[in-house]
Chains A and B, each alone.
Chain A
Amino acid sequence: MQSKHIIKPILFFSGLFILLYGLSYLFLPYNSTGEGPYKKLNGILSAPKDTIDYITLGDSECSTSISPMELWNKHGYAGYNCGVPGQRLQDTYYLLQQILNNQSPKVVLLETNAFYRSFDYSNALQDAVDKAAQNIFPVYKYHNSWKYFNLGTLENIPKKPGHKIPRAYKGYQYNSVTKPYLDGPYVHKTDKIEPIDAQPLFYLNKIVDLCKERNIQLILYSAPTPLCWTYEKHNAADSFASKNNLTYIDLNLHAEKLKIDWARDTRDKGNHMNYYGAKKVTDYIGDYLSEHTDLTDRRGQKQYASWNTALKKYLKLTQVS
């Protein structure tokens, strides 16, 4: 092979690399509460040692359904939402391990949707490659924003905060968009069980063991989601919980008590909660925590002064204009 046949492709792909990198800057969203699991973890990993009292774990059903700042505001509990969209249980397990290096939460809330996220090597590789591409070239992730492109977007570029997620959210994935779910009741009682695959079950047991070992009260919960939830899945989680002496709160069965309004409280036609739905879920969970756990109200404590500043910021960020 001639040398130009080596140099030319290298130059071509370097050019492409630079081009995509530059474009990515154009496509980065102005106000992103987007996923970015690594950036997000910075928040909890850099929190002072043993200051976090509870954490929530799971996939996007977790990250969109509980807002720690609401709990702080109402009960003074200091906690963090560690839900990562698309996360599988083995990653959840390693994440928990990592967090426990520096924190000793009393309570862990584990969302159940990821029980059915089975691990398949080919898919896992595919996801990893996709994630890597999204991290290197945000344009790959945010390319669809061409739909909202206008000249104003260009003017906003210098003001862009990059992927920074406001720390005040404490891991909660804020979204106030409403796309109603209109297909009516979705809870149909049955005795059937949809078994949890061996692979997620293995890590689920490891999470249970780890919590026992560290004396953490583990609570399972299911966020309201007509699209992902079924009674068969409920039965599986329920029997797992009773086998392991765990509490299981299925919010899908308490939708009326929660006063979920499916015309307003979901951001994507019943898949995830939006801000309004998350507030209701968080309130319910808060009441449960205050009754059934011995979490402490930290509001007056000096060490937690920064949480009050964060709250002010949070209230401003979530103010609906």
Chain B
Amino acid sequence: MTYNSILYIFLFLPVVLLSYQLVPKHHRPKVLLLASYVFFYSISGKLLVYLLFSTLAIHYIGLWLSYSRKEYSDRKEHPVNEQTADDKKALKAAYTRKNRGILWFGIGIQLSMLLILKYSDFFGGNINQLLKLVSSPVLLPAFKFALPIGISFYTLQAISYLVDIYYQKIEADDNLGKLALYMAFFPLLMEGPICRYSQTAGTLYEGKPLEYKNVTFGMQRVLWGLFKKLIIADRLNMLVVTVFDKPDHYSGITIIVAAILYTFQLYADFSGCIDITIGTGEMFGVTIPENFKQPFFSKSASEFWRRWHITLGAWLKDYIFYPISLTKFVKNLGKSSRAKYGKHMGQIIPSSIALFGVWICNGLWHGTGWNYIFFGIYYFVLILLGNIFEPLIQTVAESLKINRNSGIYSALQTVKTLLIIFTGELFFRADDLGTGMRMFGSIFTGFHFNTLTNGSLLKLGLSLGDFIVVLFSLIIVLTVGILHEREISIREKIAGWNIALRWGFLYTVIVLVIIFGAYGGGYIPAKLIYAGF
């Protein structure tokens, strides 16, 4: 079952909504939890045990952490003997060590499950390559595990739960059901977004009754997600698959078109799925954090990552970037480089270490290929260069009297950022790093303008009609994006229309999705892309 199936929209979801509404309030979270496990089981079957194990592990380790903390404050507040300042310090240090140990134990469990299930194949394969190089007679046995759905997402949620307890942002919850629901809530299972315990657990467990406005607004959001996924993403998939499956058959403009359209496919696919997720949450009165904020309007690579897959970026910032930045080593490095190289480099040098950690994790999180690691390092280098040269650009702009806030300047920056994004996604989608490099190179070696006019673009799996449908749909997405940039709520606007106009509009969108959706004969059913990460 996936979110864009008739089964989910017309059977699973209505049944869950109805049962949720009909049972007494205190049973509602149980309905959601049961539905979530059914959903999980329908995709991953018995691998459900991994999720259950993760949930139990963080439940008990969280309680352990909080118990240890309470023990510390008891001993601090009610000392058995008279305590000197040094005693207090020693006590604090001892407990800090202990809590840190518990935290690392908990993170270790979660991470090792992810590493073993998701990465053993990759690391084993690469180690074997090395062993072969030195002609070692012994090779590692090849392992490939079946991955439970959403493990990359729920593992990050599990780690954030533990770390947040460690930093006292939240209290460990002795309510196992609430934690289980936080880990398994069905709309989040396939593609996130990655939530924090403080964001969703409370409302999820509240069992609020359905509200008319929430349900209708949620349905509209789901419809918008289907529009993007079915009309745009699955249609573009045809062309993307054609080109990326036989990368050596194509070059020049064809590769450029494929890279651009893949970027749009990925956006429509991922953000469309997130729309369905957030819309589903909304129906139950749960606010799920946004994951996209018009990413293609970004003016720099780092801004792009604050607008694209927001919850992953935020997670990496809070749980990788800050902790690395605040280690003794990095802080001391900052101080010494500041003394040696001045203020600017004093900021750049320590933060580049933390940034490197972030981008390696970002690349690896997506998967286990060198192209993903390249993808991470690509953004690391671009963002680092941006930081290093920022003062220089500032000085040059000032001396040339260029207004960096002017419309033309920001338009140019947006174009530059789009080029960076398209190039990055080319490598991201390519089968492996070598293929990505070859494809990138062939843009220049095989560049002919007549590709645009000789009809070869129409031989890539999309007819002229398909292109027209994509073009119009992208214009609609762009328009919606501009309205959102101006902070106009389209659904509130629609709610203000009279009933004939409103229903007419909704009927039109539904009919458009049904007729122009790229499903059925002639199209390849396309899986949700991020569910594979």
What residues of chain A have their CB less than 8 Å away from a CB belonging to chain B?
A: 1-2, 5, 12, 15-16, 19-20, 23, 27, 122, 125-126, 129-130, 133, 139-141, 143-144, 146-147
User: CB distance A122 to B42 under 8 Å?
Assistant: yes
CA distance A143 to B235 in the complex (A): 14
CA distance A126 to B5 in the complex (A): 8
Query: Contacts A1-B212, A125-B7, A141-B520: A20 and B1 contacting too (C-beta < 8 A)?
Result: no
B residues less than 8 Å from A12 (CB atoms): 503, 506
Least Cβ–Cβ distance between A108 and chain B, in angstroms: 29
Least Cβ–Cβ distance between A82 and chain B, in angstroms: 22
Which of the residues A5, A19, A143 comes within 8 Å of B520, measured between beta carbons?
A143
CA distance A143 to B230 in the complex (A): 13
Query: Contacts A1-B212, A15-B503: A126 and B511 contacting too (C-beta < 8 A)?
Result: no
Which of the residues A1, A125, A126, A146 comes within 8 Å of B515, measured between beta carbons?
A146
User: CB distance A122 to B463 under 8 Å?
Assistant: no
User: Which residues 400-449 of B have a CB within 8 angstroms of A?
Assistant: none
B residues less than 8 Å from A27 (CB atoms): 515
In addition to A122-B43, A133-B6, 17 A-B residue pairs with Cβ atoms within 8 Å of each other are: A1-B212, A16-B507, A16-B510, A19-B511, A23-B515, A122-B42, A126-B7, A129-B7, A129-B11, A140-B520, A141-B520, A143-B517, A144-B520, A144-B521, A144-B522, A146-B516, A147-B463
Closest to B507 in A: A19
CA distance A122 to B42 in the complex (A): 6
Closest to B8 in A: A126
CA distance A5 to B6 in the complex (A): 24
Closest 4 pairs (CB-CB, A-B): A122-B42, A5-B212, A126-B7, A129-B7
User: CB distance A20 to B503 under 8 Å?
Assistant: no
User: Which residues 488-533 of B have a CB within 8 angstroms of A?
Assistant: 503, 506-507, 510-511, 514-517, 520-523
Query: Contact mask B189-215 → A, CB, 8 Å, 1/0?
Result: 000000000000000000000001000
Q: Is B465 an interface residue (CB 8 A)?
A: yes
Residue from A5, A139, A140, A144 having most chain B Cβ neighbours under 10 A:
A144
CA distance A2 to B213 in the complex (A): 12
Closest to A26 in B: B515
Least Cβ–Cβ distance between A174 and chain B, in angstroms: 16
Question: How large, as a class, is the contact surface on chain B?
Answer: 20 to 34
User: Which residues 446-495 of B have a CB within 8 angstroms of A?
Assistant: 463, 465
B residues less than 8 Å from A144 (CB atoms): 520-523
A residues less than 8 Å from B7 (CB atoms): 125-126, 129-130
CA distance A16 to B513 in the complex (A): 13
Least Cβ–Cβ distance between B114 and chain A, in angstroms: 25
Closest to B2 in A: A126
B residues less than 8 Å from A23 (CB atoms): 511, 514-515
Least Cβ–Cβ distance between A112 and chain B, in angstroms: 24
B residues less than 8 Å from A146 (CB atoms): 465, 515-516
User: CB distance A20 to B514 under 8 Å?
Assistant: yes
CA distance A165 to B235 in the complex (A): 30
CA distance A125 to B521 in the complex (A): 20
Query: Contacts A16-B507, A122-B1, A146-B516: A129 and B10 contacting too (C-beta < 8 A)?
Result: yes
Least Cβ–Cβ distance between A25 and chain B, in angstroms: 14
Can you list 18 A-B contacts (CB < 8 A)?
Answer: A5-B212, A12-B503, A15-B507, A16-B510, A20-B511, A27-B515, A122-B42, A122-B43, A126-B5, A129-B6, A129-B11, A130-B5, A140-B514, A140-B520, A143-B517, A144-B521, A146-B465, A147-B465
Least Cβ–Cβ distance between B431 and chain A, in angstroms: 19
B residues less than 8 Å from A20 (CB atoms): 511, 514
User: Which residues 192-245 of B have a CB within 8 angstroms of A?
Assistant: 212
CA distance A20 to B463 in the complex (A): 26
Least Cβ–Cβ distance between A59 and chain B, in angstroms: 16
Residue from A1, A126, A130 having most chain B Cβ neighbours under 10 A:
A126
Closest to B42 in A: A122
User: CB distance B6 to A130 under 8 Å?
Assistant: yes
User: Which residues 307-340 of B have a CB within 8 angstroms of A?
Assistant: none
CA distance A141 to B523 in the complex (A): 12
User: Which residues 11-41 of B have a CB within 8 angstroms of A?
Assistant: 11
CA distance A221 to B492 in the complex (A): 61
Closest to B215 in A: A9
A residues less than 8 Å from B506 (CB atoms): 12
Closest to B209 in A: A1
CA distance A308 to B5 in the complex (A): 46
B residues less than 8 Å from A16 (CB atoms): 507, 510
Query: Contacts A16-B507, A144-B522: A139 and B1 contacting too (C-beta < 8 A)?
Result: no
Which of the residues B5, B42, B510, B514 comes within 8 Å of A143, measured between beta carbons?
B514
Closest to A128 in B: B7
B residues less than 8 Å from A5 (CB atoms): 212
CA distance A146 to B515 in the complex (A): 7
B residues less than 8 Å from A1 (CB atoms): 212
CA distance A129 to B511 in the complex (A): 19
User: CB distance A139 to B507 under 8 Å?
Assistant: no
Closest to B513 in A: A143
Closest to A34 in B: B521
CA distance A144 to B234 in the complex (A): 13
CA distance A232 to B194 in the complex (A): 43
Least Cβ–Cβ distance between B305 and chain A, in angstroms: 35
Least Cβ–Cβ distance between A180 and chain B, in angstroms: 14
Which of the residues B1, B212, B503 comes within 8 Å of A126, measured between beta carbons?
B1
Least Cβ–Cβ distance between B154 and chain A, in angstroms: 20
User: CB distance A139 to B515 under 8 Å?
Assistant: yes
CA distance A125 to B7 in the complex (A): 8
Residue from B5, B515, B516, B520 having most chain A Cβ neighbours under 10 A:
B515
CA distance A61 to B463 in the complex (A): 27
CA distance A122 to B465 in the complex (A): 34
Closest to A143 in B: B515
Least Cβ–Cβ distance between A63 and chain B, in angstroms: 15
Closest to A6 in B: B212
A residues less than 8 Å from B6 (CB atoms): 126, 129-130, 133
CA distance A126 to B39 in the complex (A): 13
Closest to A1 in B: B212
A residues less than 8 Å from B507 (CB atoms): 15-16, 19
A residues less than 8 Å from B43 (CB atoms): 122
Query: Contact mask B37-51 → A, CB, 8 Å, 1/0?
Result: 000001100000000
Closest to B21 in A: A1
A residues less than 8 Å from B1 (CB atoms): 122, 126
CA distance A140 to B7 in the complex (A): 14
CA distance A130 to B520 in the complex (A): 10
CA distance A120 to B521 in the complex (A): 22
B residues less than 8 Å from A125 (CB atoms): 7
Closest to A12 in B: B503
Least Cβ–Cβ distance between B507 and chain A, in angstroms: 6
CA distance A139 to B515 in the complex (A): 7
Closest to A147 in B: B465
Least Cβ–Cβ distance between B25 and chain A, in angstroms: 15
